[in-house]
Structure formats: C-alpha cells, structure tokens
Amino acid sequence: MLISESGIRTPLPFWAETLRQKYLAGEASIFVLYRNVFDRYPAAGRYWTMQPLLGEVLLKDNKRQIYELSIDRGVRVVQGGGVEERAELYRHLEGKGLAGIFESLERQMREQRSSALLIPYAGTIFPAGELHLLSLDERGAFAALHRWSLDEQFADRDNVVILVSESLSEVSSALLTSPRVVAIEVPVPDHAARLAAIRHYASQMPADQADQLASQTAGLRVIQLASIVASEAPQALNEAQRRTLIAGLLEGSPLAVERAEKLAAITAGMTPAEIRQLVDPTRQLPQSLDPASEMIAVVRQRKRELIEKECAGLIEFIEPRHGLDSVGGNAQIKGELLELARMIRDGDRTRAPMGLLAVGPMGSGKTFVIRAFLAEAGLSGIALKNFRSKWVGSTEANLERVLATVKAMGPIALVIDEGDRSFGRQSEDSDSGTSSRVIARLKEFMSDPENRGQVLFILMTNRPDKLDTDIKRPGRLDRKIPFFYAETADERAAIVDAVFRRYRVLSTIPDEALVAACTALDGYSNADLEAVVLLAAELAQRQQATEPSSGRAEVRAPQVTVSEELFAEACADFMPPQETAMVRYMEMLAVAETSRRSLLPPRFSSLSAGEIQRQLAELRSRIQP
C-alpha cells in the first residue's frame, strides 16, 4: 500500500508491493524486476509506465534522491538536489567510464543516504556472459554492484537499487546468484487485471462485453489492450467516427447497427484502410454468428497480430480448419483424442495430460490429426519456430519470452513438429552448452504442475530415439500416441474418401470399387494416398478442360469430378517412396514408445517388450551403415 499526499491509502501492483515489503523487511537492497516491464500499471487512479511508477509513486515520498543510470543517457538526477548540486555531479562524472560512475554514485549515496538508483535495460550494463569475456568497465560495474549487495552499511544508509530487464537471461547470472539480490517477476495481466484495464480505457463499454473481451485477450499486456479499446492519439479516428465508418461499410447487412457498435469499440488505433480491410462489406453475417461472436473473432485476429509482432517471428499461430470428423481411418487414435478433447473442453484440469507425443513414420498423418484435435478441443495452438540464436544468451532469452507468452495465454497448446530436430540430443561442446540449458528449461516448464490443463505440450516426431530420454517420461509427455499407415483396404478407402471431401473433389466411384482399388495400395502412407487423390483430380481437370465450352459469357471454374477410371489411372501412374526399411524402423519406434497397447494395430499389439527390442535392434542394424 502507498500513502498519498491526501493521506489516502492506494494499492500498488502486487509486484511493487512485494518489492516494498521485502525492502522494509531488510531482505535485500538490490532488486531486479523482469518479464512484463514494458507495460502500464495501475496506481493512484491512473496507469503508469515503469520508470514514472518507480520514481513518482513508489519512491517519491520516501527517498531524498533518485538517480537513473542508462547506457544511452548516462546518469540523470530524477529527484533531489538543487541546480548547483546536479551540475556539480554531472561535471564530476564527465569523461568517466562505468567504473568511475559507480564510484561517484556510491560516494553520493553513502554521504546523502536515503537514495535510490534506477537502472533500466540492465542487461546493457550487466550483460550475461562469462566474466572474463566482459570489458574492464563491465567487470568493474559488476564488482561494484555485487559488493553493494553484500555491504550492510550501504543498506543501513536506506539506499535501494532497482534493475529492470525484460529477461533474467540478459543479466549477468553471477550477479543474480548473490544472496542479497532479489529478482521479482512482473507478470502479464491476469483476467482481473485485464478487466480493470478495459473498464479504465473503455469506461462506456457494457459490463458483459468488457468481461467477454477480458476472457478473449489472455496473453496481452495492458498497453496492447489500450491500443484495441482506446485510441489516445489525437489524430486517430475516435469511437464515433469509427462507428460511422463501419456502419457505412455494413449498410444493408443483417444487424448492421449492433455490429457497428461492437466493432467500433475494439478497433481503436486502426486506420480507415485497416478497418475497411477488417470489415468486409461484401461478407454477409452467417445465421449462426451474432455480433458478439463477430467481435470475439475480430479480437482474436488482433490478439494474434499483436502477439506475433511482439514475439518477432519466434512463434506462429495454428488455425486448424478441420475437426476430427475430417480424418479418415485411425479409429483408435480418434477415439483417444476425442476423449482428451472432451476433458479439455470440460475444464477437467486434474485429468488433462501435461503433454502428448505423436510418433510414427513420415506421412502417417501426425500433423493433420493433431491440428484436427486442436479444433475439436477448442484449443488455440502455437507452433514454436526457430528461437535459436548465435548470440550468447539470446537463445535462452527467446525461449523465456515464448514460454512466458504461452503461459499467459492458457489454455493453449504449444506444438513442436519434428521435435527430434529441435530438442534432440546435442553435444555441449558444439554450442557451449546452450542446447542442454534449453532442454533443461523445457523439462522444467513441461513438468510444472501449474501448467496442467492450461498449457498442453505437443511434440511430433518420427524419430523418438533421437529425443532426450527424460523429456519423454510421464509427467511431461503423458500420452504417447502411435501413428501407422492404414492396415486394410477399408481404412485406405476411408482416408481417400476423407481427402476427396477435404479438397471438395466430387467422386463417382462406388464404395465397393473404391475399396477394391485401395487393395492394391498396401503400404501407402496417408500422404501417398492424398497425393493419389490430387493426381486423380488433376487428371480430371485436364480432361474437363479439353471438353467443349458452353459458350456462356461468364465462365466459372468447373467442379472437378473423379471417375473410377481416372482414379485407377492415378493409382497406376503414382510411384510412392521406396524407403521400406526406414518406414519399418519408424513403425517399431512408435510401437516401443506408445503408452497404451490398445492404440496399436493387431500385428503389433501382442508383441512382448523383448520382441519389440529385438526387432528394433535388427532394423537399426539394417538402416545404419
């Protein structure tokens, strides 16, 4: 709590109150604030950015002098000292390096007592890395601050130092290990904080709409929420102007006035061109979609744009277009995933798995089925892209940013395809131990009990033998789902039929004829069967293109129809890959990894553990020179 000038107690953000209490208890005099440090925070009836909140709210009434040290502006006196005193300080610091600056600041803080030093972008002054690789100035700055943290006289003079960094991995780990340096996380706003921010920046928004908006914006910062609901730039369109523009675009469409009202409330900060692109006047409102649902769809789109921009290419949102009903065959797998989807939709956090491992040979449908599962479970999905960097500490910082974003957005699925490439065993000598640190952090995140039911970790691979063994244990990847090529002609026919429907290709092939044609496709993967269907569609399109035109003025692309003869021609023409030994090896790896025998095809379900290992060893010797 903070006592204002009027004597009224006003609440501080939780992290700021934590800092205050730890300081008053004498636990430390040096603090590191990290994570969501470039946001806005509520205090004293308004929202502040970090530096003004620290200087004008938290420290203003109980520190005589407040200094700020940054790499770009040097030393500034934020509070305290007359004009002459400040001028003398600046003259004394002129031409001095970091070590000299810390020496001068230490003398000032010891002589005048009750001082505060703020260090934004702390990683630029105390960078991560081996001490012997740092410059002499950087080592001097580290030594000074580390010595301050252990100096009781420095603390007894009522002095405090606050470092600010978006990621702890950007700051010297040797400094953070000091027992008198306390790191405090500034969290991404939760539902209550987002709701309070929406009510502040959009005070006229109806309560139910504000609550709905708060629920749909998990993972966004307050500053991003403000950009959605309240334009503060004087040159931007105000809400009334946006409402008029949107109403004009929607004129004549169903519920145009109500839709314009809701969309105007969430398009703050957008230019007229962006609004015209977002609100397509030619798009009719579906009967099943009400204005509130349309608002949610727009919010999700803007949320995606903001988070992808913030994560700077580290993640990619997954937008599945098909549910499990679009998946042909795979009856046991579909049954397992439908049950998991039901748990997640029902919010059954105690039984929800921590993670899934989808394993099987290439082309067995892992990626498509997992994406269909996300749609079935109503989960947003994020694909982890290349977060590795050649710069020291950047890989770890990128990973922390992604994991913090994912956790704040829950419930969500973090999907990693070809997991053996991203998280396979790596030599510590090859990258100075970066890979081992990355995998250790991922293991920690995957096994965090707080993530159960909030973050579902999904790993897909056809080479689970290349994964770190410990990452595959229950409690991290609880369910291991094996994928195989279709076993029977009926299953292959079901897959072919599903592909026809997915690509909207008409088929005149009788069911019996399709099953008969698929009998000859034994050993074809799901990807092979899809390629056969697309080849048949291409042949049909060529055939229809040679037929005489009707001569109509308006020519539309004809609906492609595949006949029994064309499908047979495609089957005869297509040549599948011939890597049979590798496919068999990947199949046995999937058998060895599965967590349930009931998910295995009959030819594998009765194999003993010893027989599985014997076959694996035999196949491994055949594929390795």
159-168, 187-196, 299-308: which has the minimum mean pLDDT? 299-308
Mean pLDDT for 555-575 is 83
Q: How far is CA 242 from the centre of its chain?
A: 31
- In the predicted structure, residue 594 carries a pLDDT above the cut 70: yes
* The length of the chain, given as a count of residues: 625
Least confident of 245-254, 498-507, 599-608: 245-254
Fill in the DSSP letter of residue 450: G
Query: In the beta sheet, which residues pair with residue 116?
Result: 66, 160
Q: 72 — alpha (psi -120 to 50), left (phi > 0) or beta? A: alpha
Rounded mean pLDDT, 94-111: 81
Give the pLDDT band (50/70/90) at residue 137.
confident
Domains delineated in the chain = 2-186 (3.40.50.300), 191-310 (no CATH), 315-482 (3.40.50.300), 487-547+558-625 (1.10.8.60)
Q: Indicate if the alpha-carbon torsion angle 214, 220, 224, 228 is positive or negative.
A: negative
Does this model's pTM top 0.85?
no
pLDDT at 495: 92
Give the up-direction half-sphere exposure of residue 546: CA atoms within 13 A in the CB hemisphere: 5
Q: Residue range 609-625: average pLDDT?
A: 86
> Is 50 exceeded by the pLDDT of residue 569?
yes
Measure the CA–CA gap between 36 and 554, rounded to whole angstroms.
Answer: 56
pLDDT-derived band at 517 (thresholds 50, 70, 90) equals very high
Q: Which helix (H) or strand (E) holds 42?
A: strand 41-43
Q: Cβ distance 372 to 152 under 8 Å?
A: no
Task: Look at residue 406 in the predicted model and tell me its pLDDT.
Answer: 85
Run of H or E residues at 361 = none
**pLDDT one-digit tens code per residue, 190-204:** 999 999 999 998 888
Q: Where are the beta strands (DSSP E) in 280-342?
A: 315-318
Residue 506, classed as helix, strand or coil, is: strand
pLDDT for position 2: 46
User: Residues of the chain with pLDDT > 70: what percent?
Assistant: 86
Q: Flag whether pLDDT at 373 surpasses 80.
A: yes
CB distance 379 to 344 below 8 Å: yes
b/e 149-175 (16+ beta carbons within 10 angstroms → b): bebeebbebbbbbbbbbbbbbbbbeeb
- For residues 195 and 214, what is the distance between their CA atoms, to the nearest angstrom? 5
Whole-number average pLDDT of the chain? 83
> What pLDDT was estimated at residue 4?
42
pLDDT category of residue 387 using cuts at 50, 70 and 90: low
pLDDT of residue 254: 73
Per-residue model confidence (pLDDT) at position 282: 55
**What confidence tier does 341 reach under pLDDT thresholds 50, 70, 90?**
confident
Say whether pLDDT at 426 is over 60.
no
Question: DSSP secondary structure string, 205-242?
Answer: S-HHHHHHHHHHTTT--HHHHHHHH----TTS--HHHH
Residue 425 has pLDDT above 60, yes or no: no
Burial bucket for residue 282 (CB in 10 Å: 0-12, 13-18, 19+): exposed
